[in-house]
């Protein structure tokens, strides 16, 4: 394993571990998957993915350097508990994926 690959894997593990506390469901797939695989997995898990890409190759030939939590996009609604109290309903959660090609 090259030093660069080891550093990139260590960075991905650090990101996943760091994100586990605030949002345990937010974890990038581990291993040598392409950036496109990671983006597809996060989208399938219900996240709106925002990609920050450096390079000109297609996403399936790129690697993920970081996965960072975004914000919850909300709308006014009613409380699930009482059904009457005003509340903010989460429509979706964004996630940022940094990609290097």
Residue 13's pLDDT is what?
A: 45
Torsion, Cα of 89, 91, 39, 99 (10° steps): -80
Mean pLDDT for each consecutive 10-residue tract of the chain (101 residues)? Answer: 43 48 47 85 96 94 95 84 75 96 92
What is the model's pTM? 0.61
Q: Could you list the residue range(s) of the whole structural domain that residue 20 is in?
A: 3-100
Residue 56's pLDDT is what?
A: 94
- Work out how many domains the chain is built from and give that number: 1
Residue 33's pLDDT is what?
A: 81
Residue burial 3-23, b: 16+ Cβ < 10 Å; e: rest: eeeeebeeebeebeeebeeee
Residue 50's pLDDT is what?
A: 97
- Phi–psi pair at 5, nearest 5 degrees: -60, -45
- Helix, strand or coil, per DSSP, at residue 2: coil
């Amino acid at each position: 394993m090259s030093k660069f690959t080891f550093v990139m894997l260590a960075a991905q593990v650090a990101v996943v571990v760091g994100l586990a506390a605030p949002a345990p469901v937010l974890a990038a797939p581990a291993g040598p998957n392409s950036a496109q695989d990671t983006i597809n997995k996060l989208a399938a898990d219900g996240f709106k993915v925002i990609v920050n890409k450096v390079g000109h190759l297609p996403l399936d030939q790129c690697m993920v350097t970081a996965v960072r939590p975004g914000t919850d996009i909300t709308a006014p609604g009613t409380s699930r508990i009482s059904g009457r109290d005003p509340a903010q309903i989460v429509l979706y959660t964004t996630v940022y994926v940094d990609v290097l090609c």
